[in-house]
């Protein structure tokens, strides 16, 4: 049967299709999962929406402006760098938006407007693009940007506003925990997020909704959040800094500061975490340990972001140690043992 025969079979009013002489060839597989990088990043953005909304509700429109500046500068720096170095501009994969969003949410709402711009520069240009861009960077760009800001402008980075006021809080709950005092507010306020803190970090509830969404959508696996929070919680409970207040101390320690924000969102960045499940467990445990060590023995009241950055550097090593045993290798070993 040739082309004309095929065409005759078609109705006159229907479009006519014909087999080309040569067809397109490509390697298998010929179908693909629809979970592209862009789709995954979009899911992360959706997961962070509750935290952002709560931040705007608590700290007002200024919080939104800070986050938007952060996102816009991340995207601009990414596009600018890629243009400058004559690479394909990849901003449509939304990874720069996610970096900007995470960075913005980890800032206090009262920072000067140039602070997110400086953070975005460090995050995108220094931490991400200079290492080769998405998939190649060693440390989490957003957290690197945040730590860079905290080291350079500590006064700016502690302008935590009291919710629904412009008053800058003097004592954050973390500081009081550091001084071995259980904060006076009720635990419920901390779970809901009704206290002075960074825009997206205060509400444990909003972050939990986000992480559950990510888990349901299978964007992330449970290993890092569970290992991170589990390790930290166990240490807080069994070695509290306030004698006899094991339960209370552990709960207040978990629900304040950036521990949940890091464990649920930031530490799950694909590029800077191990690819194996076992590796992710080790990574999470390491993050939990270092967070608690910094809180207990370091000069800073909070250590979660530092913990993640430190563990990022261990990722190549962890991956080397957790290479899965290939299918059939165990059987081969048995065979040679015989």
Partner 1 sequence: MSYTFKGGVWPDDHKYTKNVPIEEITPPQFVSVPLTQHVGVMCRPVVKTGDTVRMGQLIGDVPGGLGCPVHASVSGTVVKIEEVTAQKGGVSYNIVIENDGKNTFADTVVPFGKKLSDASADEIIAAVRAAGIVGMGSAAFPTYAKLAAARGKADTLIVNCIESEPFLCADHRLVLENPAAIIHGLKIIMVALGIRQTWIAVAGSRKDEREVLQPLLGDNGLIQIKKVTSKYPAGSEKQLVYSLTKKEISAGRTPLDEGIVVFNAQTCAAVYEALAKGMPLIRRIVTVDGDCVKTPKNLLVPVGTSFEDLIAHCGGLSAQPKKIVCGGPMMGQAQWDPAAPVTKMTSAVLVFSDYFDYESKLPPVCIRCGRCVRACPMKLMPLKIASAIQQGNTDEAAAFGALDCIECGTCSYICPGGVPVTQLAVRAKQAVLEQRRNHAKHEG
The residues that touch partner 1, with contacts defined as CB under 8 A, are 1-2, 5-6, 9-10, 17-33, 35-37, 39-40, 88, 90, 92-93, 95, 133-135, 221, 270-271, 273-277, 280, 323-332
**How far is residue 104's CA from residue 98's CA, in Å, rounded to a whole number?**
10
Least distance from C-beta 13 to partner 1, angstroms? 14
Cβ closest to partner 1, residue 26 vs residue 184:
26
CA 200 to chain centroid, in Å, comes to: 12
Find the radius of gyration of the CA atoms of the chain.
24
Beta bridge partners of 161: 168
Q: Which two tokens stand for residue 248?
A: 């209370």
Compute the least distance from the CB of residue 184 to partner 1, in Å.
Answer: 43
Smallest separation, CB 32 to partner 1 (Å): 4
Q: Are 104 and 48 in contact (CB under 8 A)?
A: no
* Closer of 25 and 151 to partner 1 (Cβ): 25
- State in angstroms the smallest separation of the CB of 207 from partner 1: 21
Contacts of 223 (CB under 8 A, 6+ apart): 277, 280, 281, 283, 284
Is there a contact between 219 and 230 (Cβ–Cβ < 8 Å)? no
Q: Name the residue nearer to partner 1 (CB basis): 93 or 156.
A: 93
Q: How far is the CB of 175 from partner 1 (least distance, A)?
A: 37
Dihedral of alpha carbons 93, 96, 99, 102, sign: negative
89 vs 167 by CB, closer to partner 1:
89
Q: What is the DSSP string of 148-173?
A: HHHHH-TTGGG-PBPTTS-PBPS--H
CA–CA dist 98, 15 (Å, integer): 44
Say how far apart CA 221 and CA 234 lie, in whole Å: 21
List, in order, residues 6 or more apart from 74 with CB less than 8 Å away.
Answer: 96, 97, 99, 100, 103, 120, 123, 124
Is 91 or 205 the residue whose CB approaches partner 1 more closely?
91
Q: Which residue, 38 or 241, is less far from partner 1 as judged by CB?
A: 38
In terms of CB distance, is 325 or 337 closer to partner 1? Answer: 325
Shortest Å distance, C-beta 323 to partner 1: 6
**Closest distance of CB 36 from partner 1, Å:** 5
Residue 130 Cβ vs partner 1, minimum distance, rounded to whole Å: 16
Largest Cα–Cα separation, the chain: 90
If the CB atoms of residues 50 and 141 are measured against partner 1, the closer one turns out to be 141
The whole-angstrom separation of Cα 260 and Cα 265 is 8
Closest to partner 1 by CB, 42 or 117: 42
CA-closest candidate to residue 118, choices 82, 144, 93: 144
Q: How far is the CB of 327 from partner 1 (least distance, A)?
A: 4
């Amino acid at each position: 049967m040739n082309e004309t025969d095929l065409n005759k079979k078609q109705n006159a009013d229907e479009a006519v299709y014909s087999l080309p002489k040569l067809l397109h060839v490509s390697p298998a597989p010929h179908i693909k999962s629809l979970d592209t990088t862009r789709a995954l990043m979009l899911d992360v953005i959706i997961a962070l929406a509750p935290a952002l909304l709560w931040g705007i509700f608590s700290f007002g429109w200024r919080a939104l402006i800070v986050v938007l500046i952060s996102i816009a500068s991340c995207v601009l720096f990414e596009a600018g760098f890629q243009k400058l170095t004559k690479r394909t501009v990849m901003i449509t994969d939304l990874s720069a938006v996610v970096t900007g969003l995470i960075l913005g949410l980890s800032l206090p709402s009262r920072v000067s407007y140039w602070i997110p711009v400086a953070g975005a520069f460090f995050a995108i240009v220094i931490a991400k693009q200079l290492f080769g861009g998405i998939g190649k960077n060693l440390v989490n760009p957003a957290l690197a940007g945040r730590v860079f800001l905290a080291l350079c402008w500590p006064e700016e980075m502690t302008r935590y506003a009291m919710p629904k006021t412009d008053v800058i809080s003097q004592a954050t709950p973390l500081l009081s925990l550091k001084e071995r005092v259980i904060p006076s507010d009720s635990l419920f306020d901390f779970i809901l997020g009704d206290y002075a803190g960074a825009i997206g970090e205060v509400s444990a509830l909003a972050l939990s909704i986000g992480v559950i969404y990510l888990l349901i959508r299978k964007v992330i696996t449970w290993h890092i959040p569970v290992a991170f929070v589990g390790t930290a919680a166990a240490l807080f409970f069994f070695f509290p800094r306030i004698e006899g207040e094991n339960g209370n101390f552990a709960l207040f320690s978990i629900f304040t500061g950036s521990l949940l924000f890091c464990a649920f969102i930031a530490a799950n960045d694909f590029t800077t975490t191990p690819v194996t499940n076992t590796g992710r467990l080790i990574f999470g445990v390491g993050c939990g340990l270092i967070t608690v060590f910094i809180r207990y023995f370091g000069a800073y009241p909070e250590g979660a972001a530092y913990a993640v950055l430190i563990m990022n550097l261990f990722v190549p090593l962890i991956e080397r140690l957790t290479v899965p045993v290939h299918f059939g290798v165990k059987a081969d070993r048995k065979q040679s043992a015989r």
